[in-house]
Amino acid sequence: MTWSVVCGWWLVVCGVLMTSCAPDTTTPTEVYPPVPAHMPAVPYPADNPITAEKAELGRHLFYEKRLSLNGTVSCATCHRPDVAFSDAPFQISTGINGQQGQRNAPMIVNAAYRTAMFWDGRASSLEEQAMGAFLNPIEMSADTFAVANLMRSAEYRDRWVRAFGDTTVTMRRTMQAIATFERTLVSANSRYDKFTRGDTNALTAQERHGLQLFFSDRTMCASCHGGTALTDDLYQNIGLFHHYFDRGRYEVTKDPKEEGLFKTPTLRNVALTPPYMASGDSEKGELRTLEQVMDH
């Protein structure tokens, strides 16, 4: 996976440093993982600076199924690392007790750069996004008590103290830890990235031709999927359906002009994340290949 080059080694090194410290260490250290020069700096919120200890706690919480109401669902259930932290190949994501929503979980690689979360943009930060999934009765249906129960474990108590300096458990701190881990998931070393950094052999001749078409006025792909992020972070209605039960951005703003609008997804790791669009289908059927998306 491409993000491992940027942050995977950072978490490993930080883990070694933390395990070498005394167990009663209570002063988290701000450590910022490096990002390649062609990428913008990750915007860390002032009220949630990144520390190695907090990222490590967040990593464990991200994979922790005991946080859900019945102990069967974690963040990683719908954001799996083997498919770029998306929910591929499922059309609709499934939460506790087999309940389903109406969309699939977006990929969270490079979510640190996004200004709004979820397909409809209803969360303005990764902390808020994590809270939404955490409290949603269909997804995890969790509460502060679930985190407090984890604190009965000496292992989690130690991680918590390392991250926050004391054992005070709050929902806000829980979401801060998870969001901190998610901000380390940066994809910046794909063959496309290497090409943009000057490695002309990183792409095949066919791929270079496709890149020219992608950024040309003939296709206008880059009008929505441009820049290093390969998304404009805006909302679009591309006419997948004439009549559709999901009203998209309208459900958040109640603005008739935003009926059927959904966030433009990034195209990073897109080959790993079918089916495509918010629910994986259109009036022409399921969109499981990039060729089908192009033909739509």
Domains and CATH numbers, the chain: 4-182 (1.10.760.10), 191-295 (1.10.760.10)
pLDDT of residue 262: 93
pTM given for the model? 0.87
Q: Are 280 and 88 in contact (CB under 8 A)?
A: no
Contacts 24+ apart (CB under 8 A), 219-226: 224/264, 225/264, 225/266, 225/267
Element (H, E) at 132: helix 126-135
In which residue ranges of the chain is pLDDT below 70? 1-27, 240-244, 278-285
> Is 30 among the residues known to form the active site?
no
- Backbone phi and psi for residue 214, each to the nearest 5 degrees, phi listed first: -60, -40
Tokens of 277: 């669009």
Q: Are 251 and 120 in contact (CB under 8 A)?
A: yes
Of residues 64, 127, 139, 258, which has the active-site annotation?
Answer: 139
Tokens of 5: 């080059």
Q: Are 50 and 32 in contact (CB under 8 A)?
A: yes
Q: Are 269 and 109 in contact (CB under 8 A)?
A: yes
pLDDT of residue 28: 74
Q: Are 83 and 90 in contact (CB under 8 A)?
A: no
pLDDT of residue 4: 41
pLDDT of residue 18: 46
pLDDT of residue 202: 97
Summarize pLDDT for 236-295 with one digit per residue, the tens: 988 766 566 788 999 999 999 999 899 999 999 999 988 887 665 545 557 788 888 887
- Tell me, what amino acid is at 187? S
